[in-house]
Amino acid sequence: MADQTSDDEITLISGSLSLVTLSAMASSLVSNTNQVHFAYDLAMDNSEMVAMFEALVASGLNGFLGCMSDIFESALIEFYHNASLQDDKIFSTIQGKLVEISEEIFARNFQLPVEGLIDINEVPKDLIFYARTEFSFTDEQLSTSCKKRELKIEYRLLSDIVAKSITVKAGSFDAVTHERFLLMTAIFGGVSVNWGRLLFKIFKDMATPETRQARGYAVHICILLTNIPYFELGDCED
């Protein structure tokens, strides 16, 4: 079966799924963020898409991917500018006030699973083998590093969600990396993953200037900051 789906059609399909793209930050410190409207997406008249979103819910990621918040740009910029790591926690100062975020606080706020795999390379080999065909648009077995256009439509969207909202990769999303393929396989296959540990590790990399990790999690940082008592964040972005 030839791939007859154009990039414009993919954009239209993605738009219909109510992926909310927040306005771009003036600062280059923060990437665009995509959050998922699960109530809308799970009610779609498309069984393949619904099954994909149901897998995201079953994975325990819905509290992380579906959370919403106002965006406080100045607080985000200050958070990243002053961020540092100590004792496996993220510290920063905003308006002269100390902010401390631990893995426990991070996982609890977004109701993330804290048991399961902590190394995504431990996804079962037989599941990976099955996913290489299941994800394929042509039903021919894929490599675990492939082009997004080689995926079925619902898995192209899953690839975008993983890349933009979980691993937060900058640049082109046309290529599916081995790491992303394994994450998609874990979600699709119902593998128990310690998402609290995995996502907090990505967050720590964001807070470490020496890493090449793109900075993001704008919504999540704002939620964490608004949960701090007596903390005034100022005006939000429209």
pLDDT at 10 over 60: no
Examine residue 168 and state whether it is found in any structural domain, yes or no.
Answer: yes
10-17 mean pLDDT: 41
How far apart are the C-alpha atoms of 65 and 59, rounded to whole Å? Answer: 11
Q: Report helix, strand or coil for 44.
A: coil
Label residue 22 by pLDDT band (50, 70, 90).
very low
Find out whether 84 and 226 touch, Cβ atoms under 8 Å.
Answer: no
pLDDT at 69 over 90: no
Examine residue 232 and state whether it is found in any structural domain, yes or no.
Answer: no
Examine residue 159 and state whether it is found in any structural domain, yes or no.
Answer: yes
Examine residue 80 and state whether it is found in any structural domain, yes or no.
Answer: yes
* Per-residue confidence (pLDDT) for residue 118, from 0 to 100: 95
Phi/psi of residue 110, nearest 5 degrees: -110, 15
- pLDDT more than 90, % of the chain: 60
Examine residue 207 and state whether it is found in any structural domain, yes or no.
Answer: yes
Examine residue 1 and state whether it is found in any structural domain, yes or no.
Answer: no
How far apart are the C-alpha atoms of 72 and 14, rounded to whole Å? Answer: 26
∠ Cα 140 145 149 (to 5°): 60
* Per-residue confidence (pLDDT) for residue 18, from 0 to 100: 43
* Per-residue confidence (pLDDT) for residue 33, from 0 to 100: 62
Number of domains in the chain: 1
Find out whether 29 and 37 touch, Cβ atoms under 8 Å.
Answer: no
Label residue 88 by pLDDT band (50, 70, 90).
very high
CA 159 to chain centre: 10
Q: Give the global pTM.
A: 0.85
Examine residue 236 and state whether it is found in any structural domain, yes or no.
Answer: no
pLDDT at 72 over 70: yes
Examine residue 137 and state whether it is found in any structural domain, yes or no.
Answer: yes
Q: What is the DSSP letter of 120?
A: G
176-196 mean pLDDT: 96
Query: Which domain range does residue 57 map to?
Result: 7-226
Label residue 74 by pLDDT band (50, 70, 90).
confident
State how far the alpha carbon of 236 is from the alpha carbons of 47, 70, 77, 139, in Å.
Answer: 37, 6, 13, 46
